[in-house]
Amino acid sequence: MYLRSHRFMKSLFIAGTDTGVGKTMVAGALASALRMKGLRVGVMKPIACGGREDAEFLMDCAGIRESLDLVNPIYLREPLSPNVAAVRERKPIHLDKIMQASDIFKKKYDALVIEGCGGLLVPITNRFLVVDLISLMKARTVLVSRAGLGAINHSLLSLEALKARKIKPLGVIFNRSNGGPLSIPEQTNPKVVSGISGIPSLGIFPFMKTCTSRLAGEVFLKHIDLEKIL
């Protein structure tokens, strides 16, 4: 078990190659795994569109009681890109709310796990993308990709977007969307992506039909290389 830190260690931004690739599950599992290692873990879903269930799941995995508005500073009702949802709701997006919440977490916790929204080039405003939020928050990045067919292209495109912003991710986690034996793409995609990009694969996160916060953490520790993240 890791010793509890007396100072903030790092922010970890869980980015995705697309919407629905498993960012929430991986972010929650990471928070749970860090908690099981003895760290006090804060969590954030800076921007949510269409529901706040992701933020609530993250809090459950981290085992913390914080205001939902602190964990999720910007909430927009419609499941759209933030820039479009904000215009339709007539609710301007103020990035300072995200940074203020982040500062609070950094003062109270050893680590901060941040879940992005959608893919890297999703616009938060017309001139500010999710990938720009990573730079603003000065967070280390873990990219989550689908494990199956199509993952190579989506992963490499996302890694190129990070490289263009001079962001070097800690690695890629490939998330399975179904059970059963690994398909040939699932077996080979991590090695292909790593070989072309030079960015390590951190492992394949298995499909979880049912999930509790503790089980998610246990699965993360079993299948993902946590040492490369820390």
Radius of gyration over alpha carbons of the chain, in Å?
17
Alpha helices per DSSP H over the chain: 23-36, 53-62, 68-71, 82-89, 95-108, 130-137, 151-164, 184-197, 213-223, 226-229
- Nearest Cα neighbor of 220 from 11, 34, 30 is 30
CA distance 23 to 115: 7
Judged by DSSP in three states, 108 sits in helix
Using an 8 Å Cβ cutoff, are 123 and 82 in contact?
yes
Query: Is residue 205 within a helix (H) or strand (E), and if so which, with residue range?
Result: strand 201-205
Is 228 one of the annotated active-site residues of the chain?
no
Angle at the Cα of 11 from the Cα atoms of 28 and 13, rounded to 5 degrees: 55
Using an 8 Å Cβ cutoff, are 177 and 147 in contact?
yes
Catalytic residue among 10, 37, 45, 163: 45
Q: What residues are annotated to the active site?
A: 45
